[in-house]
Each structure stands twice: as structure tokens, then as C-alpha cells.
């Protein structure tokens, strides 16, 4: 899966919901984003923490 910047949460949600993988690879990728962005974007961190994405 190519890695690119995700502009906003809607784009993140669409990527995950449309993905056939729902794999550890995606979860780890988003968790890495959350750790870096949680202070700037608490909603993204919260979504990942509760497992919505």
C-alpha cells in the first residue's frame, strides 16, 4: 500500500472503510500517525484509541 499524506479525517475514514484489508498494517500505520498527531489532532487520536478506525 503506497503511503501518502491524509488530508483530513473523512479521507482517513474512507480509506479504512473501503479497504479490504483492515489489517495490522493499516492499524499500525494509523497508530503511528496518532502518536505523532494526537496533540495537534485529538479527534484522530481518540478515533484510533477506541478502534473506530
pLDDT at position 42 = 58
Residue 44 grid coordinates: 484522530
Q: What is the pTM of this model?
A: 0.27
Domain ranges of the chain: 17-49
Mean pLDDT by 10 residues, the chain (53 residues): 55 68 62 62 57 53
What torsion, rounded to 10 degrees, do the Cα atoms 31, 35, 38, 44 define?
Answer: -10
pLDDT at position 1 = 46
Amino acid at each position: 500500500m503506497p503511503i501518502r499524506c491524509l488530508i483530513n479525517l473523512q479521507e482517513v475514514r474512507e480509506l479504512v472503510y473501503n479497504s479490504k484489508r483492515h489489517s495490522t498494517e493499516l492499524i499500525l500505520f494509523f497508530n503511528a500517525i496518532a502518536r505523532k498527531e494526537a496533540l495537534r489532532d485529538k479527534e484522530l487520536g481518540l478515533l484510533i484509541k477506541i478502534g473506530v478506525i
